[in-house]
Structure 1
């Protein structure tokens, strides 16, 4: 399903493989959260989750391909990284995303962690104008405190493009922000995925009580 979405539907040719699978070195170190259709048992949604144990075995997290995360070193033992969020086109009414989110937050808690992190992508199909508008909007409302800021290896040149008239925040990113996540600085440019990526960090202590009930978890205090 990941290959169908990223390569066949979105045309990301950098991910093409002869075996028809979207796969890289991180997959073997991750746990894979899936949602299945109860009638057909087809996989209709998935996340891959990298626990602190998996990250130590591999030696890094995926987001380090795009960002310098050294300022977050103190969080590594308490942080789950999520990526490759993927929902089948026929199941994008909201319920599958809710199930993925509920499973993700439950996984974070069961790992004994209190932070969730990952890259949130904004398509550059319009030339990058929406990505500029989204970043301008979110840095005014959801920027992390300075001690949580990260630096992109390949910055997206947001200051060289005009923003779109209205910022269309992607649904996944919008869900993160509504739950209390921060963006941790300027966006990176990912040429393989033709996207501008924001590093997102959600302390579970920020999880709004309404969304905690919605996803079946409870917010909790955390150490700095």
Structure 2
């Protein structure tokens, strides 16, 4: 079976698939990464009911192996805010809200991290944005602060130098990482999610916030559909056809 035939991509709110996605999120975030989550075996919150859940299913194993959730404009309106607003002040992005989705809770089963599953998730995102006539994605990429934050500061500085947002599209951390007190010149590669965002054309749109629940620094990114680099967009659309 080819990789394309083996994996099924779903964008769904169906409870059975959402529950499997929540289980995968718990296994990755709590069991693997040590996030402080209630010991229920599922990562769930009040935003889930208002999100579209992007899921990659392995047909051979009959299990969800990758997920990403999308909070569309109407979902954010119903719940009262974007999830990111517990970490960032999004005031300057208010004019974009009717055309902006929030991406979050990205995770892939440890046995499926070769890149194929992530490619399927980005394919589904490109198709979703075009079909729903949406223009912007707000998201974040997490970086460990196990070393005190030096790696996060260094990766942030390098990413900012590569792709900084316009000043009028900035967000501001509620609890900022004290990057001015940290070494920020370590020659480190960005984590896969941040690297993927940058390759697609996303801007780094603010300083990292410290996420105490997950024990990490979150780098905010803003991805305009118009900036999706053409070779990636063509590839995703070909995959989605």
TM-score range, shorter chain: over 0.9
Partner of 1:161: 182
Shift of 1:164: 5.6
Q: State the Cα deviation string for residues 58-111 of structure 1 (Å, max 9, x = none).
A: 111011111110101000000111100010000000000000011112112222
Alpha-carbon distance in structure 1 between the residues aligned to 2:30 and 2:38: 6
Shift of 1:168: 2.2
Q: State the Cα deviation string for residues 162-190 of structure 1 (Å, max 9, x = none).
A: 23621220111101101100010111111
Identify which of 57, 81, 89 aligns with 2:110.
89
Partner of 2:30: 7
Q: State the Cα deviation string for residues 134-161 of structure 1 (Å, max 9, x = none).
A: 1111222211010101111101111111
Partner of 2:160: 139
Matched, 1:203 2:214: no
- Normalising by the residue count of structure 1, what TM-score does the alignment of the two structures yield? 0.93
Aligned length: 215
Identify which of 198, 203, 207 aligns with 1:177.
198
8 Å CA contact 1:51, 1:111 repeated in 2: no
Once the two structures are overlaid, the 10-residue window that deviates more, 162-171 or 31-40, is 162-171
Shift of 1:132: 0.8
Partner of 1:222: none
Question: Which ranges in structure 1 are unaligned for 5 or more consecutive residues?
Answer: 218-224
- Normalising by the residue count of structure 2, what TM-score does the alignment of the two structures yield? 0.86
SS at match of 1:63: helix
RMSD value over aligned CA atoms? 1.2
- Determine which structure has the larger helix proportion and give its number: 2
Question: Which ranges in structure 2 are unaligned for 5 or more consecutive residues?
Answer: 1-23
8 Å CA contact 2:200, 2:227 repeated in 1: yes
Partner of 2:169: 148
8 Å CA contact 1:52, 1:79 repeated in 2: yes
